Structure 1
Amino acid sequence: MLDSLTIGRRIRQLRTERGLTLDDLGTAIGRAPSQVSVVENGRRELKLGELQRFASALGVGVQQLMSAEPPTERAALEIALERAQRGPLFASLGLPPLPLRKSLSDDAIRTILSLHRELERVHNERAATPEEARRANTQLRQSMRARHNYFAELEQQAAALHAAVGHRGGPLSQRVASDLASHLGFTLHYAGDLPGSTRSVTDLRNGRIYVPLGQSPDADPRSVVLQALASHVLGHAEPRDYGEFLQQRVQTNYLAAALLVAEAAAVSILSAAKDARELSVEDLRDAFGVSYETAAHRFTNLATEHLGIPVHFLKVHESGSISKAYENDSVQFPTDALGAVEGQTVCRFWSARRVFDVEDRFSPYHQYTDKPAGTYWCTSRIQPSSRGQFSVSVGTAFAHAKWFRGRDTVNRFASTCPDESCCRRPPAGLASRWAGQAHPSARLNSSLHAAMPTSGFTGVDTTEVFEFLERHAPSA
């Protein structure tokens, strides 16, 4: 991946050495001076063709522009400071960005960077044990963003499994799920005493998969079986740490979803809908007989890779806290100092929160939201569960809203979060009446992203699992 900050500083250094102004260089490459300035400040990534034009205008090779080494010691300091100011820790301090002027001495920058590193050290020490999971999840989300939430190798495995049992598209029935289990050497068994800490239990010795006898109202019985099969196909062993546990969970859920919603058939439906400017998560849901959340997940898997549409996904509890989140369209989710979004509160004016106030729960809710990063269009639905109500939302930048059904909505709100005056700070009149007169008792928010136990699968009572297998093992 190209480092836009380093490339930008190198372009600025070479331009200055050659006595060129922003206007001169802009004319040479056919761009406005303001666009050249954005590139030099590392605010935009360059494609190969643009790099070639810059290299030609500056009389150097493309490889020289792409060198990972900063051009000067001063440039290295400026790049480090710029990176620090763009990070979640600096954003959490609420400080205005420090302009990188020539009058700012090298020693001053070194002092600022030293202070920033010390703040990072303190935050990391405080978060070392309880925040291990949040750190791991943040890293996983970044890696998913880098690949547009698309796993080609898992799509190929799903297609191979479909072919093995003769599934040619459309909804995947429970019978086909059973056929997949048989193909992989397993029989399915429904148990009423499955350990409460498990979704399913796989008996590798006897080739059995145990699933709950009674499904919760918000669970898809096919998903439980497919997730168990996916874990076996992927060769998952006991995770060594929480990061590996989360990676396995993402892979398992992805492969299960790819089995429920076949890539080729889904892309055909989505491509036709884009051509008609009628893209809709509901159509994907209905075509494959899956939940809205599964359809929304599959949409984010395929939209950027096959349709060229950057998107974001949010699952938000009725309390306003984020349960799941993904983005590659530069929308700015609320984060803590470590960059974690899970458990953070979504702005009251975002579609993911506004949908809870809509009486019509049958129709999808669409909304435009003017945010600090730009205007975004979003579609949201309410999904009830045993843990309360959740909103599931898929959105994209304004420029791509033209491809979606619901783009003509008149619902529009403005959000300035993370500015506290947006929705986190009570109105002055309300605050003056109640300040010091209220003492609410907070409900603790339980989350998947908890610390890794010292042994065993994360969150699973190993003794219960082994006792369960003993009870259900076939007699010799």
Structure 2
Amino acid sequence: MAIPTTRPGGPAERAQLPLEREPDALTIGRRIRHLRTVRGMTLEELGAAIGRAPSQVSLLENGRREPRFSQLQAVARALGASLDDVLSPEPPSRRDALEIELERAQRGPLFESLGLRPVRVGKSLPTDALETIVALRRELERLHTERAATPEEARRANVELRATMRAQDNYFPELEGAAAELLAGVGHTGGPLPQRVAADVAAHLGFTLHHVPDVPHSTRSVLDLRHRRVYLPSDRMRGRSNPTSALLQALAPYVLGHAEPQGYGEFLRQRVEANYLAAAILLPERAAVKALRAAKDARAISIEDLRDAFAVSYETAAHRFTNLATRHLGIGVHFMKVHDSGVIHKAYENDGVRFPADALGAVEGQHVCRSWTARTIFDAEDRLSPFSQYTDTPAGTYWCTSRVQDGADGLFSVSVGVPFAHVRWFLGRDTTRRLASRCPDEACCRRPPEQLAERWAGQAWPSARPHASMLAAMPAGAFPGVDQTEVFSFLERHAPPV
């Protein structure tokens, strides 16, 4: 997975930029053919100049042979051109670009799977026919990709993203740099981020804010890049969402230079990057690390204290702790957001804890053990005081602290945990709650007790209520689940008069 790219020249200019494209054999071949034709040379003449047979030059021009560097130097000299002329990643003409695209497609697995005879791409193929074939190829690939965007594809994307996050300890310095640069641009030096300063961030980026009652129901916000406007739900529509966080998440795609996602994996990555950037602005790295290091020195790390110090939600504070804990405090950590039904909605770990996972390695959608803190907290009568528990698992003993929050889809627990070796740094380590989990052993909590099973086996027929996403493909479109017609109509309705 490519880690965040940013808008060149924008506020996050120092973050990683896209790598320059490398020319492939097809493009190099087309450039050689173009330069040869412009200079009026035949295949035989170029072959003689570089000491190769005309057939070998033809293979080179058709991209059928990977050229050696010494060979390219000889070709460039023979054509009176520079190596840059030969190695440019851009096709020499629009016609060449179409030919290259068709050649690549015909050599790819999708075309091969259709069992079609390849089209000979040469001068005899009219340009309009070439354009039609390429357009049909693009539409076929789009439909194939759309059909492939199944829940399985989504789970694979989640697995790949979590692996990337784990490899970097969920810490992305380029996003931290982008957040610091934005905060410096509006003069915010630390402490909770007032809504006024969040509005200053928008103005600093050249955007005006507009709170409207008719934001499309399939969206949380809409950016009008043409008129530099940010549309957010009006006060009566905000519900439980934090307006400051919503604004920062809305601006993040612009700051990071996101393009329309080409697949669910890219869409998911962009969502994670936007959330990360918003949290890094709400809890700036320098100030948050200073507070956490002081808490560690006092052996009093608390997600509640981090939440209160920066006036954010518990979930935002918990997420932010996972960004900073390993890199700055040397603490491995895991995070979970779990529905009261026991289903995992979000999860991250780099401390060796073993989450339940399916055959693909996906964690989201799995049921967490009934003995884990993320489940036992739902039985707690006191929802105001911090809740923590030790859990003995096959992977070791873990301490976890958790909170219950109300969401649009019901109650969720948000939990942060660490291995036993690190618990000495945390408030709540003196808890007496301790349970044992043998999951993934089904006898732990997934298999009913033998006596109960004997009494009811064959006598129950529950009506399952699966999520629709289990049965259907991912929603179509660049942004899954978003009604693009509704969004465009909304922008047209609110656009300022010309």
TM-score (ref. length: structure 1): 0.72
Decide which of 195, 217, 220 is 1:199's aligned counterpart: 220
- Which consecutive residues of structure 2, in runs of 5 or more, have no partner in the other structure? 1-146
Q: In the TM superposition, what are the counterparts of 1:56-455 in structure 2 within 5 Å?
A: 129-213=150-234, 214-445=236-467, 451-455=473-477
Q: Is the 8 A contact 1:134 1:449 kept in 2?
A: no
CA contact (8 A) 1:260 1:288 kept: yes
CA distance in 1, matches of 2:266, 2:471: 13
Give the gaps of 5 or more residues in structure 1: 1-125
AA aligned opposite 2:205: L
Q: Percent identity?
A: 69
**Structure 1 position 367, deviation (Å):** 0.3
In 2, are the aligned partners of 1:314 and 1:325 still within 8 Å (CA)?
Answer: yes
Partner of 1:471: 493
Distance 1:225 1:317, change over 3 A: same
CA distance in 2 between counterparts of 1:299 and 1:190 reads 31
Q: CA deviation at 1:215?
A: 4.0
The Cα of 1:446 is off from its aligned counterpart by: 5.2
Deviation of the 1:352 alpha carbon: 0.2
8 Å CA contact 2:149–2:264 kept in 1: the answer is: no
On the 8 A contact 2:149/2:474 being kept in 1, the answer is: no
Q: What amino acid is the match of 1:422? A: C
**Aligned partners of 1:150 and 1:428: how far apart in 2?**
46
* Residue type of the alignment partner of 1:165: V
**Structure 1 counterpart SS, 2:397:** strand
Q: Distance in 2 between matches of 1:240 and 1:396?
A: 36
Query: Which residue identity lines up with residue 336 of structure 2 in the other structure?
Result: L
Instruction: Specify the alignment match of 2:54 in structure 1.
Output: none
How far apart in 2 are the matches of 1:447 and 1:179? 39
Seen in structure 2, the aligned counterparts of structure 1 residues 449 and 358 have a Cα distance that, compared at 3 Å, is: farther
- Summarize the Cα distance change of 1:347–1:463 in structure 2 as closer, same or farther, 3 Å threshold: same
Q: Find the residue that maps to 1:416 and give its secondary structure.
A: coil
Provide, for residues 381-440 of structure 1, a one-character-per-residue CA deviation record: whole Å limited to 9, x for no partner: 001111100000000000000100000100000000010000000111111221111111
Deviation per CA, 1:334-368: give whole Å up to 9, x if none.
00000000000000000000000000000111000
Inter-partner Cα distance in structure 1 for 2:216 and 2:169: 36
User: Is the partner of 2:467 in helix, strand or coil?
Assistant: coil
Q: Do 1:312 and 1:327's aligned partners in 2 also have CA atoms closer than 8 Å?
A: yes
Match of 1:82 in 2: none
- 8 Å contact 1:133–1:449 — kept in the other structure? no
CA contact (8 A) 2:216 2:490 kept: yes
The DSSP-based 3-state class of the residue aligned with 1:378 is: strand
Letter in 1 for 2:297: D
Give the deviation of 1:375 after TM superposition: 0.2
CA offsets per residue over residues 433-459 of structure 1, 9 Å max, x none?
A: 211111111122356998444433221
Distance 1:354 1:159, change over 3 A: same
The SS at the match of 1:384 is strand
Q: 1:228 to 1:332 in 2, by over 3 A?
A: same
Question: Which deviations, in whole Å up to 9, do the C-alpha atoms of 1:91-110 show, x marking residues without a partner?
Answer: xxxxxxxxxxxxxxxxxxxx
Deviations 1:125-150 (A, max 9, x none): x9983311110110000000000000
**1:175 partner amino acid:** R
Maintained 8 Å contact 2:391/2:435:
yes
* In structure 2, distance between residues paired with 1:312 and 1:236: 28
Aligned residue pairs total 351
Query: Highest CA radius of gyration, 1 or 2?
Result: 2
Q: d(CA) in 1 for partners of 2:287 and 2:472?
A: 37
SS in 1 for 2:151: coil
- Deviation per residue, 1:246-300 (Å, 9 max, x gap): 1111110000010111110000000000001000000110000000000000000
Inter-partner Cα distance in structure 1 for 2:233 and 2:394: 46
Contact 2:345 2:365 survives alignment (8 Å): yes
Structure 1 stretch 431-440 or stretch 195-204: which is displaced more? Answer: 431-440
Q: Is the 8 A contact 1:377 1:407 kept in 2?
A: yes
Residue aligned with 1:131, SS:
helix
* In 2: Cα distance, 1:460 partner to 1:372 partner: 42
The AA in structure 1 aligned to 2:288 is A
CA contact (8 A) 1:131 1:450 kept: no
